[in-house]
Chain A
Amino acid sequence: AQRVTQPEKLLSVFKGAPVELKCNYSYSGSPELFWYVQYSRQRLQLLLRHISRESIKGFTADLNKGETSFHLKKPFAQEEDSAMYYCALSGWETSGSRLTFGEGTQLTVNP
């Protein structure tokens, strides 16, 4: 079974400080990992995916297969980064493909 864990429900940092949102996963196969973000009163949207190795809005995430982690990082947080962040894993179960989400981390960036 595939599982995603985000150990921090709430994370609060000051503007300009580095931020790291933790994500650990459990999956027997080769995972596809994503970060989704939900800004206030907006729909959930894809932030980035590990396979593209891109930086979006200053955020990066590196897949560490040895530690089964996919932490999201940004060197200098901005107030507009305040949102709910979900880590997600796309994998195959016996019944088919599914996207499994972590519990989410509410990030607040204080001025």
Chain B
Amino acid sequence: GENVEQHPSTLSVQEGDSAVIKCTYSDSASNYFPWYKQELGKRPQLIIDIRSNVGEKKDQRIAVTLNKTAKHFSLHITETQPEDSAVYFCAASKNAGGTSYGKLTFGQGTILTVHP
């Protein structure tokens, strides 16, 4: 089955700096790669995702890059703010029919702390 590795496990940055979190996956059939942000005591919330037919996607301060050949993808947060502090999870999945994706395999998570 799929295996997703995520690094680093903790990341501490100063406000305004950039943060990068990296993930690798093992199943070459995976074609959907979401990133979730989980604040303390809350459910995971999707912040950005990328599909295997594109190499990069950007949404304001957040971007994700995908290298299918190397089977790794990364989350980039620019101009970090204290409210970006949370646990971030990468995940991988593959199409389950139509536009739906199947089960998610999660990375281990990264605790991001942004210091004011």
Decide whether A and B are members of one complex. no
Which A residues are within 8 Å of any B CB, using their own CB?
none
Which B residues are within 8 Å of any A CB, using their own CB?
none
